[in-house]
């Protein structure tokens, strides 16, 4: 000890025997509870279940359409051999796309796209598997 007065001062802040025992008991108690805190288990479980439910509810589904060779969204479906229904409206097949300027719509179908023809509001072009098919709104509708 290099200074007696300092030693005496420091000795005054020693813990008592009772305080030492109390701290040790709490340390051992905490040691036994260490690992994943129990309060985390319910919240983690709840969070996992919520994520699974959201995944199940919002997972993008598709339905198959046999006449269009593969799954397409429900907004586009074939009603007759030469007619389709697009967004609830009837379109009939005109022929293959003949080089007119196409505008891609925001609707995507699996394995292809839907286009509109510039300046022709009543026509759509459905591209599927590399084939462009020109459809026009059904007459009389």
Partner 1 sequence: MEGSLLCADKEITELYNQYVDMIYQISFMYLKNKADAEDAVQTTFIKLLNYKKPFQNDEHIKAWLIRTATNHCKNHLKHWWRTNAELDTMYDYGKEDTKDETLEALLKLPGKYKTVIYLYYYMGYSTEEIAQILKQKHTTVRSLLSRGRKRLKDSLGGEFL
What minimum distance in Å lies between the beta carbon of 35 and partner 1?
10
Residues 23-42 that bind partner 1 (CB under 8 A): 23-24, 26-28, 30-31, 34
For residue 104, state whether it binds partner 1 (rule: CB under 8 A): no
For residue 17, state whether it binds partner 1 (rule: CB under 8 A): no
User: In a 3-state reduction of DSSP, which class is residue 82?
Assistant: coil
For residue 14, state whether it binds partner 1 (rule: CB under 8 A): yes
Residue placing its CB nearer to partner 1 in the complex, 20 or 83: 20
Rounded to whole angstroms, the Cα distance separating 120 from 111 reads 24
Cα atoms in the 13 Å half-sphere on the side-chain side of 31 = 6
What minimum distance in Å lies between the beta carbon of 39 and partner 1?
17
Q: Residue from 22, 83, 87, 108 that binds partner 1 (CB under 8 A)?
A: 22
For residue 6, state whether it binds partner 1 (rule: CB under 8 A): yes
Rounded to whole angstroms, the Cα distance separating 84 from 123 reads 12
Residue placing its CB nearer to partner 1 in the complex, 5 or 39: 5
Rounded to whole angstroms, the Cα distance separating 38 from 86 reads 54
For the chain, what is the radius of gyration of the CA atoms?
37
């Amino acid at each position: 000890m290099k200074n007696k007065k300092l030693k005496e001062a420091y000795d005054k802040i020693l813990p008592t025997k009772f305080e030492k025992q109390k701290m040790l008991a709490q340390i051992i108690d905490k040691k036994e509870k260490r690992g994943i805190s129990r309060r985390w288990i319910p919240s983690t479980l709840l969070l996992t279940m919520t994520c699974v439910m959201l995944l199940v509810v919002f997972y993008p589904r598709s339905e198959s359409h046999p006449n269009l060779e593969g799954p397409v969204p429900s907004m586009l479906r074939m009603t007759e051999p030469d007619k389709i229904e697009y967004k609830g409206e009837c379109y009939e097949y005109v022929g293959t796309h003949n080089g007119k300027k196409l505008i891609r719509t925001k609707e995507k179908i699996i394995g292809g796209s839907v286009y509109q023809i510039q300046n022709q509001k009543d026509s759509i072009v459905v591209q599927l598997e590399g084939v462009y098919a020109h459809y026009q709104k059904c007459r009389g509708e």
